[in-house]
Structure 1
Amino acid sequence: MVQVVFLARFAVGALGAWPGEHLSAARVAVGALASFCATASAYLLNGVMDLPEDRANGSRRPLASGALSVRAAAWAIGVLTAAALLLGVGDPGLLLCIGGMLFFGWAYSAPPLSAKRRSWSSSLSVIGVGLCTYGAGAQAAGGAPRPGFWLVAGVMSAWMGLVGAFAKDLGDIPGDREGGRRTLAVVRGERAARTVTAVCAPAVALAFAVGAAVWDPPLLGAAAVLAGGAGWVSWLCRHPAAGRERAPYRAFMAGQYVTHLAIAAVFLLS
């Protein structure tokens, strides 16, 4: 699922800078493969570094469940990182974006930065990865970005960093506490994290609507879709229930998927 949503971001980035009949399919394919390798590398690195917390939280991720060994993951991380960089080396702009994805992925998971340990640094890392992914898509497409491209990249990256990052913590409190993290949910409690998530979700959706009205009106429909997802996330955060700690994060992910589909439709049709 992680790879699917990252490729959706890449695809939206490419559609936002679509050059029409001058599109190089090979160039887009290379960019997509490089982005896939960078994302997979970062995901596996996170799985290795989060192993104790994931086991404490009952995660079904490959490493935590025992489906993949740490040694095999380490080999895969090296191969995927090298492949991502080699695939991007022929295009300086793409290489910069791929390098950014790898850097933010490392900064999030691994020492000495370990941005995952605090909510604010986690959010910044996630936003950075998002921006680089949309940028990689646009660079691979090779056209001039449409007016709403950077609005989409900024808003949907903020959706990741200001909504998804906090919503994810709601279901990971026991493991995060055991791992010594200082996230908002650990330091201030679940209620504080829910409140922040409930406020940030509609705020991001409102920013999208206002930006679309000013810079790219056809995107107002996609902004309405995100607003629906934001309302769902906010409602779930304000109405917690036992056994439903991960519900806001699932709503965040669902909102992310359908909004990307709506944005892609706008970019294709207008």
Structure 2
Amino acid sequence: MYLTEQSKISRLADARNLRLCWTEARPVVQGIFALRFCCGALLAEHHTNGAVWPRVATVLACWVAATWAIYLLNGVADVVEDRENGSIRPIARGLLPVDHAKSVVVALSAAAIGIAALISPAVCLLVVMHLGIGIAYSTGPWPLKGNVPGFLGAVVALGGLTYLSGWYASGATEIGVPLLLFGGAMSLWMAFGGATKDLSDTTGDRLAGRRTLPVVLGDRAARVVMAIGASAVGWGFLLAALRWAPSLTPVGFVVCAGSFVLTVVVSSKVSLGERFRRRRPYRAFMITQYAAHLTLLVSLLK
């Protein structure tokens, strides 16, 4: 009886820790990666049939596992700066043991690679590259997150690989202009818009030795660069869609509008002050991402 109760308590603790691992990996980020993958698959310009979609779902499962591992590892690596910045994520608050999180990272990575290897060598290579860049982003003697070029390169690569994996999973044989345009623009949006997260984390980043835009340029200059970058992506995407991929025009308007909102928010007093206010540009970036991908999905599924 005692052993049964102990086993039950242990299972409940494991379930709780697994849930905390998912929370640590930021469900809102996991969701947008899944949407990127699905958009890549649907933009493949390939006539799919019922036999293809089980493959897409299986590759997506591998991709979700790998992305979960990447962002959980990021939480482990960022514990010092997260605590300094007042993060409410489980590891920073001491709710999730670091050793348990590391073991889940290993298990997720092994599962993603193992299942991918059973699908095809190409899928396995894509998953390994995704994990490799994600690991290099957070760990090692010179993590890519620690400097602006490393951050920009890693983020664009993670986005591009996700769209590419969705395309490949669909069984497509050609990469069309819509996929190149949408995948490229939204990967750049990840880089310039995603950098706004650093505006609320300057204290911890400086303590950890990270050379982010706000640390290197100062808060005001970093905001100017972020506004210019986001605007360039938004307007560039819209104009390119009008010229080369009219079917993406509605999405282009969404991203362009989002870039305008982000520019206004990051350049005004509404994003100054305490941490919640300083994260408003990042929320504008994330909302724009979701709106753009959902707009595309609705148009493709009509």
Separation in structure 2 between the aligned mates of residue 237 and residue 148 of structure 1, nearest angstrom:
30
Q: Does 1:162 align with 2:192?
A: yes
Equivalence for 2:116: 88
Q: Is the 8 A contact 1:19 1:141 kept in 2?
A: no
**1:101: Cα distance to partner?**
1.1
Counterpart pick for 2:85 among 57, 64, 70: 57
Q: Bigger shift: 6-15 or 21-30?
A: 21-30
Match of 1:35?
A: 63
Matches within 5 A, 1:129-168: 129-143=158-172, 144-164=174-194, 166-168=195-197
CA change 1:135–1:36 in 2 (3 A) is same
The aligned residue for residue 286 of structure 2 is 253
TM-score, normalised by the number of residues in structure 1: 0.95
Query: Which of 106, 131, 153 is residue 102 of structure 1 equivalent to?
Result: 131
1:169-248 equivalent positions in 2, closer than 5 A: 169-240=198-269, 241-243=272-274, 244-248=277-281
Aligned residues of 2:48 and 2:170 also touching (Cα < 8 A)? no
* 1:210 Cα deviation from its structure 2 partner: 2.4
Does the CA-based 8 Å contact 2:255-2:288 persist in structure 1?
yes
How many residue pairs get aligned? The number is: 268
Please say which structure displays the higher CA radius of gyration. Answer: 2
> What TM-score do you get using the length of structure 2 for normalisation?
0.85
Q: Provide the secondary structure at the position in 2 that maps to 1:142.
A: coil
Larger deviation, residues 9-18 vs 153-162: 9-18
How far the C-alpha of 1:267 sits from its partner, in A, is 2.7
Contact 1:201/1:234 (8 A) holds in 2: yes
Greater shift after overlay, 83-92 or 70-79?
A: 83-92
SS at match of 1:148: helix
Q: Percent identity over the alignment?
A: 39
C-alpha RMSD over aligned residues: 1.4
Give the CA deviation at 1:214.
2.8
For residues 74 and 193 of structure 2, the distance between their equivalents in structure 1, rounded to whole angstroms, comes to 19
Cα distance, 1:19–1:250 mapped onto 2, change above 3 Å: same
Residue 226 of structure 1 aligns with an amino acid whose one-letter code is V
Counterpart Cα distance in 1 of 2:131 and 2:92: 22
Out of 46, 50, 73, the residue aligned to residue 45 of structure 1 is 73
- Offset of residue 211 of structure 1: 2.1
CA apart distance, 1:39: 0.3
Can you list the C-alpha shifts for 1:173-209, whole angstroms capped at 9, x where unaligned?
Answer: 0110111111120122111111111111110012211
Residue 22 of structure 1 and its aligned partner are, at CA, apart by: 5.3
Q: 1:100, 1:128 within 8 Å by CA — same for their partners in 2?
A: no
Q: Residue in 1 aligned with 2:37?
A: 10
CA separation in 2, counterparts of 1:246 and 1:154?
25
Partner secondary structure for residue 82 of structure 2: helix
CA contact (8 A) 1:23 1:142 kept: no
CA separation of 1:111/1:20 partners in 2, compared to 1, >3 Å: closer, same or farther? same
Structure 1: 5+ residue runs without aligned partners? none
Runs of 4+ in structure 1 off by over 4 angstroms are: none
Which residue identity lines up with residue 15 of structure 1 in the other structure?
Answer: L
2:40, 2:152 → 1: CA distance?
Answer: 21
Asked whether the equivalents of residues 133 and 158 of structure 2 are also in contact (C-alpha less than 8 Å), the reply is yes
